[in-house]
Structure 1
Amino acid sequence: GVDCRAADPAALAEAARRAGARVLVLGDVHKTSTLLLSTKVQVLDLQTNRLLLDRFLSFRGDNDEAWRRMTHFIARELDGLALDGGAP
């Protein structure tokens, strides 16, 4: 029930908590050109309010393969996060 494009991060975090989420993944993609895109990815632990990940990433290409590589890279980053406050 929240418009992610219009909501501030605190409203998104509260909506995610109400929905029972453990983490909130925020990100946006900026297309610099057909060859270069950049993305900002942040992950918030909703139980501790700790920012688990804050990365600015650049990737090349504007086709399905480039997006697939970028999403797989981010997924591996997320998989390595420590959600209990310890080391990954």
Structure 2
Amino acid sequence: MRCIFLTLAALVFAVPAFATTLGVMPVKMLDTSGEVTDQSIAHGKRIDAVKKALERDLADRYSKIVMIPAQDVAAACPVEEPQCLLDIAAATGADKALFVSIVKTSTLIMRMYVQVVDVPQRAVAQKRELNFRGDTDESWRRAERFLVRNLEAP
């Protein structure tokens, strides 16, 4: 009897309680600050860092994370209509799709708009809007960590 219980317990703990694949769409950025200095290279590096951090920090919540390349989206959905984007996510096997858009409105104010969409149902499962101060590597890292802490498990 004890052997059966131990075997069942091992099976329960060996199989993840989740079986959800997350498709992470390319992170988008819009800079409306009007600053004279071209920060596109710095912003590109920060976007890459956010994508890597999301992949790492959400890995324990999903059975698989698929980072959907920007070039795939551009080729399949040049207008980026929602249904087309969800078709791409579905083609990768994603159950959920994560959309992140960052808007820089001034030197100090950044906003991060986030949606987690249930791909089969084509419905928004979660929505977050975050404000963060500063356009630095550290401010972006803090915003990403805050987002991950505040997203609900699948």
Query: Is the structural similarity TM-score above 0.5?
Result: yes
Separation in 1, partners of 2:90, 2:150: 22
Partner of 1:86: none
Partner of 2:114: 41
SS of alignment partner, residue 48 of structure 1: coil
23-32 vs 60-69, greater mean Cα deviation: 23-32
Deviation string 1:3-52 (CA, Å, 9 cap, x unpaired) is: 27741121111101011112111121111112110121111011333312
1:51 to 124, 131, 143: 124
1:19 aligns with 2:92: yes
Separation in 1, partners of 2:79, 2:111: 21
Relative to the length of structure 2, the TM-score reads 0.48
1:64 aligns with 2:137: yes
Relative to the length of structure 1, the TM-score reads 0.78
Between Structure 1 and Structure 2, how many residues are aligned? 81
Separation in 2, partners of 1:74, 1:9: 22
Where structure 1 has 5 or more consecutive residues not aligned to the other structure, the ranges are: 84-88
Partner of 1:31: 104
Structure (1/2) with the larger strand percentage: 1
Partner of 1:2: 73
Superposition misfits of 4+ residues, deviation over 6 angstroms: none
Where structure 2 has 5 or more consecutive residues not aligned to the other structure, the ranges are: 1-71
Structure (1/2) with the larger helix percentage: 2
- Which protein shows a greater Rg? 2
| Superposition deviation, residue 66 in structure 1 | 0.3
